[in-house]
């Protein structure tokens, strides 16, 4: 069986921490989409490690970590990440498998990403500039270079041919770049990538499932950044939903068991695009300061706001979420009053649903007020303060989904199973 764990907001919900916590219940942890735009943070004995491409089960002995076909891989980032995992005491060897069908991010993809963003000016997406959009464009455009191509004799020929195409594309932009160092580093890291275990991952994973092994599929980004249903065009270029796990691993929908959806107790977004519950004020800054809301990949300050229930209900519907994880409840300890958006006003009319456009000209968030618990909760036992319990009950009632885990700190053990 495959359980799927994914973010229900605009990313950074705490997926890495929860996957690391749940991993011992599984034999395989698999990433199914995205690439180094992701930044999944783990704390190991108080030491911080950020993973970008490697699944968050890597620090557990005896667990296989699979980078699935739906992922786009930058070999340079991956190589650096492997070094950091080893420095932090992790093992990378037989326990890391890479799908032959995963696509490669080339240096020119990164340059194209930057050139495209610059050309968009004020309308830019706020991409992480990791080459994600251009790499997925080549995938769907049927031009892409895959991990399996590295094993063929004409790999360099294929690389050069796609690079030439990119250089022609780049000539339409007024964008200066120097490819030589980037290309040298990339080609060297391809040699290192060859040392990893390439697999026909769709066969591998189905064989393992048939043998009774349990798989945890680890989402990247968040549901509201999904290419189909997110806040288009301010989205990423992959399928971040449960359905993406089927595509990105080669598993049938009938193999999916639990769908674990994660949300912060409030909400954040990094990059451009609409954010109905955003707090562009001192309260937002307080959330940013207390929550350390700065991007794990780019370091950019994250936009902060109150929890958005219409958006969460939409994400729960699209993913078929069976259980919720609420993270970063501890960040709300000092707020006397909490707010939660339960309805939107669309052109002045109330709706509980998620409309086609959530542009600020069209919709306004309406808030419920909830009393805060105003005490420290990082070392919760089974007793939770009543007001925190009331908040969780409010969320469960309005989201019609049970909360199974409450996370109250960045460390592995700082959570409560409810």
Minimum CB distance to ligand IMO, residue 359 (Å): 16
Residue 273 token pair: 């695009």
Q: Is residue 72 near ligand IMO by the rule CB under 6 A?
A: no
Residue 279 token pair: 């707090």
Give the closest residue to 223 by CA, choosing from 306, 321, 113. 321
Tally of CB atoms within 10 A around 178: 8
CB 275 within 8 A of CB 303: yes
**Residues 6+ away with beta carbon under 8 Å from 126:** 117, 234, 270, 271, 272, 273, 300
Q: Is residue 262 near ligand IMO by the rule CB under 6 A?
A: no
What SS3 state is found at 126?
coil
Residue placing its CB nearer to ligand GDP in the complex, 190 or 340: 340
Minimum CB distance to ligand IMO, residue 273 (Å): 6
Question: In the Cβ-directed half-sphere of 416, how many Cα atoms lie within 13 Å?
Answer: 20
Residue 390 token pair: 């009331």
Active-site residue identified among 3, 40, 166, 308? 40
138 is catalytic: no
Give the binding range for ligand IMO (CB under 6 A) out of 68-76, 140-148, 215-223, 242-250.
215-223
Pairing between strand 40-44 and 47-51? antiparallel
x/- binding map, residues 109-148, to ligand IMO, per CB under 6 A? ----------------xxxx-x-xx---------------
Using left for φ > 0, alpha for ψ between -120 and 50, and beta otherwise, residue 374 falls in left
What SS3 state is found at 391?
helix
166 is catalytic: no
CB 21 within 8 A of CB 415: yes
Expressed in percent and rounded to 5, the helix, strand and coil fractions of the chain are 35, 25, 40
User: Using CA of residue 263, residue 298, residue 77, residue 59, what is the dihedral sign?
Assistant: negative
**Interface of this chain with ligand IMO, residues 263 to 322, rule: CB under 6 A:** 270-272, 296
Residue placing its CB nearer to Mg ion in the complex, 240 or 398: 240
Residue placing its CB nearer to ligand IMO in the complex, 125 or 380: 125
- From Mg ion, ligand GDP, ligand IMO, none, interface partner of 330 (C-beta below 5 to 8 A by class): ligand GDP
- From ligand GDP, Mg ion, ligand IMO, none, interface partner of 77 (C-beta below 5 to 8 A by class): none
Phi, psi of 148 (to 5 degrees): -60, -25
Tally of CB atoms within 10 A around 356: 8
Q: Is residue 73 near ligand IMO by the rule CB under 6 A?
A: no
Residue placing its CB nearer to ligand GDP in the complex, 37 or 116: 37
- From ligand IMO, Mg ion, ligand GDP, none, interface partner of 130 (C-beta below 5 to 8 A by class): ligand IMO
**Alpha carbon of 110 to those of 104, 135, 159: distances in Å?**
11, 9, 15
**Interface of this chain with ligand IMO, residues 30 to 59, rule: CB under 6 A:** 37-40
x/- binding map, residues 331-370, to ligand IMO, per CB under 6 A? ----------------------------------------
Residues that bind ligand GDP (CB under 6 A): 7, 11-17, 39-41, 43, 292, 296, 327-328, 330-331, 407-410
**Angle at the Cα of 40 from the Cα atoms of 54 and 296, rounded to 5 degrees:** 125
Packing angle, helices 107-120 and 132-140, rounded to 10: 110
Q: Is residue 220 near ligand IMO by the rule CB under 6 A?
A: yes
What SS3 state is found at 294?
strand
Residue placing its CB nearer to Mg ion in the complex, 71 or 365: 71
Residue nearest to ligand IMO (CB): 271
Minimum CB distance to ligand GDP, residue 55 (Å): 11
- From ligand GDP, ligand IMO, Mg ion, none, interface partner of 408 (C-beta below 5 to 8 A by class): ligand GDP
Binding residues for ligand IMO (CB under 6 A): 7, 10-12, 37-40, 125-128, 130, 132-133, 220-222, 225, 236, 270-272, 296
């Amino acid at each position: 069986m495959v359980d799927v764990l994914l973010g229900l907001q605009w990313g950074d919900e705490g997926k890495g921490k929860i996957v690391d916590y749940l991993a011992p219940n599984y034999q395989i942890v698999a990433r199914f989409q995205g690439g180094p735009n992701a930044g999944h943070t783990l704390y190991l004995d108080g030491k911080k490690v950020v993973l970008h491409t490697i699944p968050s089960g890597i620090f557990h002995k005896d667990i296989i970590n699979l980078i699935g076909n739906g992922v786009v891989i930058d070999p340079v980032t991956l190589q650096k990440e492997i070094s950091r995992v080893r420095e932090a005491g992790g093992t990378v060897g037989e326990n890391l498998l890479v799908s032959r069908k995963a696509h490669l991010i080339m240096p020119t993809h990164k340059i194209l990403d930057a050139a495209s963003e610059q050309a968009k000016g004020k309308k830019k997406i706020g991409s992480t500039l990791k080459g994600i959009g251009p790499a997925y464009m080549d995938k769907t455009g049927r031009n892409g270079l895959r991990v399996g191509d590295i094993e063929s004799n004409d790999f360099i020929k294929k690389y050069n041919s796609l690079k030439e195409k990119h250089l022609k594309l780049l000539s339409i932009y007024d964008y200066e770049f120097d490819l030589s160092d980037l290309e040298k580093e990339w080609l060297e890291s391809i040699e290192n990538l060859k040392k990893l275990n390439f697999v026909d991952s769709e066969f591998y994973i189905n064989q393992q499932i048939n043998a009774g092994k349990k798989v945890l599929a680890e989402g990247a980004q968040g549901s509201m950044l999904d290419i189909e249903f997110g806040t288009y065009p301010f989205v990423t270029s992959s399928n971040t939903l449960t359905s993406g796990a089927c595509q990105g691993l080669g598993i049938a929908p009938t193999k999916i068991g639990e769908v674990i959806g994660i949300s912060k107790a409030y909400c954040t977004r990094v990059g451009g695009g609409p954010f109905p519950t955003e707090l562009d004020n001192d309260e937002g800054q307080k959330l940013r300061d207390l929550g350390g809301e700065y991007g794990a990949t780019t370091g950019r300050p994250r936009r902060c706001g109150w929890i958005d229930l219409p958006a969460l209900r939409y994400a729960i519907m699209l993913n078929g979420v069976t259980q919720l994880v609420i993270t970063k409840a501890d960040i709300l300890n000092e707020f006397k009053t909490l707010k939660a958006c339960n309805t939107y006003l669309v052109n002045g009319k109330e709706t509980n649903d998620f409309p086609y456009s959530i542009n600020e000209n069209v919709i306004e968030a309406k808030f419920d007020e909830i009393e805060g618990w105003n005490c420290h909760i990082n070392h919760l036992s089974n007793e939770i303060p009543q007001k925190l319990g009331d908040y969780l009950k409010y969320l469960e009632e309005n989201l019609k989904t049970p909360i199974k885990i409450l996370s109250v700190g960045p460390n592995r053990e700082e959570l409560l199973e409810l």
